Amino acid sequence: MPYIAIKAYPKDEETKKRLAEKINEVFLEVWGCPQEAISLSIEDVAPDRWEKQVVKAEIEPNTEKMLILAGEKKYLKDHATPKNLTIFHQETCPFCFKARRALDELQAETPAYRDVRVEWIEENEHPEIIEQYDYFATPSIFAGKEKLYEATIFDSYDKIKESVKKALDYALKEG
């Protein structure tokens, strides 16, 4: 596990080896399997046999399983790309620590939240960025220029976690 079978127009052996190495690296990194679990084959199919041997025999009967079909990334049709979130924080802010802890917990509890790109910007290190946003307290969470949350001194951990969750839900829904 996994077995990767590639059918393609003929290429030279060096190109095949380079492709096999790249695919191998990706499976080790992304799939998380050990090297000894990977099997990969590359079968040459002549252009004049492609339609019958590959398109008709393998692609057309399996279109619902295709992640990329004729260059179109079908997996993007089912899931919108989430919006990015920007969180302004300060290193010594206790509410910011709570927001970071809440984000970590929520991402552990709900894998879809890991798809949301969250950029943490330290307020004191980037005044040129800060002046482009309208907020007074940290943490403050934005999707683009839209403020989704701004902490107050009365916010409990539960309130902060709820606000971080709402921002993540917004990012997934609006993506």
- Asked whether residue 80 is domain-assigned, the answer is no
**Confidence (pLDDT) at 175:** 59
Reported confidence tier of residue 111, pLDDT bands at 50, 70, 90: confident
Same domain (yes/no): 105, 163: yes
- Provide the number of structural domains found in the chain: 2
**Confidence (pLDDT) at 62:** 78
Same domain (yes/no): 170, 89: yes
Residue 127 belongs to a domain with what CATH number? 3.40.30.10
Residue 15 belongs to a domain with what CATH number? 3.30.429.10
Q: What average pLDDT does the structure give for the chain?
A: 88
Same domain (yes/no): 8, 68: yes
- pLDDT at 129 exceeding the cut of 70: yes
Cis peptide bond upstream of 47, omega within 30: no
Distance CA 121, CA 123 (A): 6
**Confidence (pLDDT) at 81:** 56
Distance CA 129, CA 136 (A): 14
Domain end, chosen from 75, 104, 136, is at: 75
pTM of the predicted model over 0.75 = no
Which residues, 6 or more positions from 90, have their beta carbon under 8 angstroms from its beta carbon? 96, 122, 123, 124, 138
- pLDDT at 74 exceeding the cut of 70: no
Domain end, chosen from 23, 47, 75, is at: 75
Residue indicated by tokens 């924080």:
89
Same domain (yes/no): 118, 142: yes
- Asked whether residue 150 is domain-assigned, the answer is yes
**Confidence (pLDDT) at 44:** 94
Same domain (yes/no): 22, 50: yes
Same domain (yes/no): 131, 65: no
**Confidence (pLDDT) at 42:** 92
- Asked whether residue 33 is domain-assigned, the answer is yes
- pLDDT at 79 exceeding the cut of 60: no
Smallest CA-to-CA distance from 99 within 110, 88, 109, 115 is with: 88
**Confidence (pLDDT) at 82:** 61
Residues 3, 39 contacting (CB under 8 angstroms): yes
Same domain (yes/no): 32, 111: no
Same domain (yes/no): 100, 163: yes
Residues of the domain holding 144: 85-174
Domain end, chosen from 75, 108, 134, is at: 75
Smallest CA-to-CA distance from 146 within 129, 133, 156, 158 is with: 133
- pLDDT at 60 exceeding the cut of 90: no
Between 62 and 52, name the one with better pLDDT: 52
3-state SS record for 7-27: EECCCCHHHHHHHHHHHHHHH
